[in-house]
């Protein structure tokens, strides 16, 4: 696979100019030269092979030669809602969920959550989605939603019918097929009241074995189950 670069604008065969962080990456880090072939994507589901035509300090000009639509997305919706872990562990979580083809990530505010991401943190996580998509070949970006209160989120009418809340006392998730949402609690776990809210809204309570997993391990294991 050619080196991939993200463009935050519509793409089509013809000329395009890259600027900002991606131009820096292509020009200074990859030392692009006219004639080099790269791959551009913008999250619309396609990818666009392109030939470098000129390299300046802060801009790279390219000629898009085609539009290709390889299938790299799951054929169903896979949503993960989790209380974000601290610091770099949140970036790690987002990177892995992107690689695993998660459709949407919803950060949760629960009784025992300690991380309540604001706009700048969410923007940083969106950047992590782009970096992971460049590396893994996804042409659709995993959506990162704004912070949601657990009680509101758990009762949303728009959630898939397959809804699972991870809790150490839960049973086996069994085989999971079709649109699905998994919820993971904070380091201190979901409270009994939060579990009761889930049960009243038809969430199945599932366990992941006898060991206590970190938030990111539980979320990644659940994404891999789907």
**Interacting residue with ligand SAM among 80, 215, 220, 226 (CB under 6 A):** 215
**Interacting residue with ligand SAM among 218, 220, 223, 226 (CB under 6 A):** 218
The answer to whether 86 contacts ligand SAM (rule: CB under 6 A) is no
- Rounded distance between C-alpha atoms, residue 67 and residue 28, angstroms: 26
Other Cβ atoms less than 10 A from the Cβ of 176: the count is 16
Residue nearest to ligand SAM (CB): 189
Say if residues 51 and 17 touch (Cβ distance below 8 Å): no
The answer to whether 107 contacts ligand SAM (rule: CB under 6 A) is no
Of 13 and 207, CB closest to ligand SAM: 207
**Least CB distance from residue 168 to ligand SAM, whole Å?**
4
Give me the count of residues in the chain. Answer: 226
In what helix (H) or strand (E) does residue 30 lie, and over which residues does it extend?
A: none
Residue list 127-146, contact with ligand SAM (CB under 6 A): none
- Encoded tokens for 63: 């000629």
**Interacting residue with ligand SAM among 133, 167, 197, 226 (CB under 6 A):** 167
- Rounded distance between C-alpha atoms, residue 19 and residue 12, angstroms: 17
Contact stretch for ligand SAM (CB under 6 A) within 25-33, 60-68, 150-158, 182-190 = 182-190
Size of the site for ligand SAM (CB under 6 A): 18
Of 103 and 110, CB closest to ligand SAM: 110
Say if residues 63 and 53 touch (Cβ distance below 8 Å): yes
- Encoded tokens for 183: 């919820």
Of 23 and 108, CB closest to ligand SAM: 108
The answer to whether 67 contacts ligand SAM (rule: CB under 6 A) is no
The SS3 of residue 207 is coil
Instruction: Tell me the HSE value of 41 on the side-chain side, using a 13 A CA sphere.
Output: 25
Residue list 184-213, contact with ligand SAM (CB under 6 A): 184-185, 187, 189-190, 207-209, 211-213
- Rounded distance between C-alpha atoms, residue 225 and residue 202, angstroms: 20
Other Cβ atoms less than 10 A from the Cβ of 28: the count is 12
| Residues of this chain that bind ligand SAM (CB under 6 A) | 166-168, 170, 184-185, 187, 189-190, 207-209, 211-215, 218
């Amino acid at each position: 696979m050619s080196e991939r670069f993200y463009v935050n604008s519509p793409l089509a065969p013809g000329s395009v100019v890259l600027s900002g962080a991606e131009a820096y990456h292509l020009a200074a880090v990859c030392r692009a030269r006219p004639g080099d072939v790269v791959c551009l994507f913008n999250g619309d589901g396609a990818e666009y092979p392109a030939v470098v035509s000129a390299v300046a300090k802060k801009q790279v000009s390219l000629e898009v030669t085609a539009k290709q639509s390889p299938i790299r997305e799951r054929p169903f919706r896979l949503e993960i809602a989790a209380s974000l872990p601290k610091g770099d562990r949140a970036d790690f979580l987002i990177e892995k969920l992107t690689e695993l083809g998660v459709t949407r990530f919803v950060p949760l505010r629960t009784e025992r959550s300690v991380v309540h991401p604001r706009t700048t943190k969410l923007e940083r996580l969106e950047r992590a989605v782009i970096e992971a998509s460049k590396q893994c070949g996804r042409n659709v970006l995993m959506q990162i939603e704004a912070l949601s209160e657990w009680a509101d989120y758990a009762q949303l009418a728009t959630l898939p019918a397959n809804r699972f809340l991870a809790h150490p006392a839960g049973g086996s998730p069994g085989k999971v097929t079709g649109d699905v949402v998994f919820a993971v609690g904070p380091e201190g776990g979901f409270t009994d009241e939060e579990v009761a809210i889930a049960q009243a809204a038809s969430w199945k309570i599932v366990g992941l074995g006898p060991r206590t997993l970190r938030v990111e391990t539980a979320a990644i294991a659940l994404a891999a189950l789907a």
